[in-house]
Structure formats: structure tokens, C-alpha cells
A and B are shown apart, each in its own frame.
Chain A
Amino acid sequence: MIAMRDFLTGRLVPVLTILVAIVVIWYGAAIGLNGPVIRDFEKRAGETSEGMAFILKTWSQPKPTMPAPHQVAAAFWKYTAGVKLTSNRSLIYHSWVTLSATLLGFALGTALGVVIAISIVHVPALDKSLLPWIITSQTVPILAVAPMIIVLLAAIGVTGLLPKALISTYLSFFPVAVGMVKGLRSPDTLHMDLMRTYSASRAQVLWKLRIPASVPFFFASIKVAIAASLIGAIVGELPTGAVAGIGSKLLAGSYYSQTIDIFAALIAGSICAILLVTLVDITGRLVERRMGAKT
């Protein structure tokens, strides 16, 4: 009972308040940003509207500077529920294109990150030489590399999903590698010494001690990695001139200044992100609970 009440007053109510505040500010911003355009228009047309009529006008422009929340919601609804799944206008279809690249890149990036982390933990020469460059690799803005990867791969005949996925890989391997190095090194000396008294081999230490100990680190880092993966996939759709995917919708919206469409695409991307992160979060909790973690 008390736990439930604590959750309500301590979490849910504040979060809902903030969300409501965001919507209110958003409507306010729509008035502020669209108002001047309408005034301008009215001056030329020689008419004026006041009070509520004016406010309603700011919330119902066809090509507003700042679309109102309900306009975005309507557009989002139209492009998801209102069109066929296979249609070129369906946001679900575009989301799926981006998601598939995200997931492929995420899988590759996670595998790469884990392999790098295991090598770094076991080969001292790699620890000293590779780790600094892994950090440096992330200071290269990914978009600088994105067109390169796409051009390079196109030149050797690879197009479609893989180039985008590789950008996701580039962004997602880093948190996994860094987090897993920490995780694989997290067993304390006591446990390591215990394994040594059993004369366990390096492989046994890895499987029976290091990897179980790194599980919480693993899930914490793939939560970051999957969000990064999605960004990689979206960004990867920009320089390719892709015809499908959330990135391509953003690009198309920006060509025609269709702010409502851009916002709808943004909402689709955000929903993808929330779904992915939640999925990883739940999986992590389940696995950790099965491994005997508290709560």
C-alpha cells in the first residue's frame, strides 16, 4: 500500500505534471511562433482576428512554423493508422526500415564491443595500445565517416541495409566495449584469488567469474548502445539520399518545409527509441533477476 502510494506521489504525479507542462508550453510556443506570421498575413489581407479566434488560427495553420501538438498527433495518426502498412506514406513502414538497420547494426556493434573488451582484458598489449584509440574513434563525428562508408561500400557493390547498419555499429560498439572492459574487470581480488586456488584456466575464469560479473554492466551499456544505434541508422539515411526510413522522411519534410510531417517523423523515431530502450531494460531486469539480483 505504502509502496504504491510512494510510487504515485513520488514518481507518477511529478512525471505526469512535467509531461502536461511540456504540452502546455508547446501550445504556448505555437501561439508565439505562428502568431507573427498570421499577423503579417492579416495585415496584407486587411483583416484582424482577436482573442480566441486568433489563438485557434495559430493552432491550425497548414504549414505552421511550430505545429500544435494535436496537429502532429493527427498527422501521426493519419500516417500510421490511416494508410496501408506497405504504403510509401506509412510511418510504420519507414520506422521498420530504420529499425531493421538499427537492430542489425546493434547486433554487430554489441558483438564487436564484447570481442574487443574480452581481447583487451586478456592481452595487455591491446589494453595499452587499443583503448586510447577506441576513445579517439568516438571523437570522429560519425557523420563525417557516414558518407565515406556508404561511398566505399557502394563502390564494392554493397548497398541497402548494411551501410546504414555499419554506421550504427560504429556508434554502438563503443559503449559496449568500454562498459564490458569495466564489467569483465569488476570481480574483486578476493574472487580472482579464489579462482586461482582452484587453478582455473583463463577460459574458466572468463566463463564462470568475469562474464557473470559483467552482466549488469552489459545491460547498462547496451541500453546506451541501442539508442546510439538508432541515431546511427537515422543519420545514415541522410547522406545516402535514402528513399525509405525515418531519416528520409526528415529530409523530405525539410525540402518542402512540412513541419508537421517532420514532427510526425520525429515522434515515430522517439517511439522507436522508447520501445528499444524499454525492451533492453526489461530483458536486463529479467536476466538479472534470474541471476539472483535483488529487486
Chain B
Amino acid sequence: MSQPVLEVKQLRKSYGSEVVLEDISFSVPVHTATVFIGSSGSGKSTLLRCINLLDQIDDGSIVLDGEDITAVDADVDKVRRKLGIVFQSFNLFPHMKVIDNITLAPMKVQGISKEIARENAYKLLDRFGLHDKAENYPDRLSGGQQQRVAIIRSIAVAPRLLLLDEITSALDPVLVNEVLSTVRDLKIEGMTMVLATHEMGFAKQVADEVCFLHHGKILEWGTPAQILEAPQQPETKEFLKRVHEAGRL
């Protein structure tokens, strides 16, 4: 089997005396999606931030394409160029039009010419039905449209791995679907992804592997069917029961 895109080994992360992540190990093969579920505060966002090197880890290592990105001499900027991340709150740049939000990194980071960057951006906007929003500023878009632009912006640099952190939790239920179908399209096209989500139905659809995070530890992992339909651990059962009661399954 070929080398996984991402390999996390015995990762540990704490904020002060509070241990947020402990003994986290998993790997993400190419073209697959690994989905993290778990209650609020279980450490999902922290894990994604660590992978993106926005937070410093306390122990363990993170290997991207066979390269230890947590090594002391790792080039942070270079690593980030291989990673795309979309946050819970869509951090579009409010002073730039949609099209400029998307072309900024390709032009400034990858050195692609303006014409080609715009052409590529329009192709992506076309594909996700946002062509007519290209010249708008982000505040003129609906939440769902903004989040889709954020996704397009992060895949415009052709990342090796896309990190998506609860990208629908700030959205109306109606808008959730348009964003999720965008992610499903990416999955079909073979994008390798790590996601954190509260949408179990969605996890079932896109995940190749589901990991249940509980108090900073991976308590249980497996295929969506194993974890979501036949969980073994009492905590997982309890969590899924609560999610089910909240009507999100």
C-alpha cells in the first residue's frame, strides 16, 4: 500500500495544565476522508489546528507525505502550502471581492499569473454554482455561499490535504446541504480530507474512517457503519444517543 498522506503519531497537546489531546494516532491514505466526531470541547478543532501548525504540539509527531512537519527544521510556510483549512466561521477577507479572495494565494504564494489564477478561480466558481458572485464582496453573500467560497479558496492552491472544521455549524439547516454537497463533490474527485463535524448523516456519506474523540483521546475508530451503527464503547453509544435525540442523525 502506498504511503499515507497524513500520519499522526502519539500526538499530545495541552494548554497549560489542561491536557486537550493525548496519544492521538491515525493515518489518512490518499483519496480518503477521516471524520472526527465527539462532543463539544473534545479537542477536534485543536487537532486540526495542530495539523496545520497553527498550534504547537507537546509530544508525538505529524508526518505529511513522508515528511515530519513537526521536526524543528520544518518549513512552516511550505507545509501550509500543502494544506488547506476551512474554519468553523468563514474567515473570508472582507476587503476583497470573492474572486480576489480566491486568487490571492495562487498569485502570491504559488506565483501564478493573474490571468491564469482568475481563469482557474472562475472554473471552480462555475463548478460550485457561484459564478455570478465572483465580483461581490463577502458580506453580500449568504452564509452558505460564504462557506463555499472559503472551501474554494482553500482548494484553489491544490492542497494535498484539506482540513475542514465544523464547516456547517454556523449555518442554517437549509444552507448546510449546499455546503455538504460541495464537500461530497470534492470527495468524489479524490480530495484527501480530515473533517470534524456534528453532522452524523454527512459523516456516514463521506467518511472512509470515523474516529470518536472523547476528552482528547480517540476512544473508538472504524468504518462509518461500525462506529455510527454498532459502536462498542459506552461513551460512543452515549454520544450517539444524545446526537440522535438532538435530531442530527
* A and B assemble together: no
Interface residues of A, Cβ cutoff 8 Å to B: none
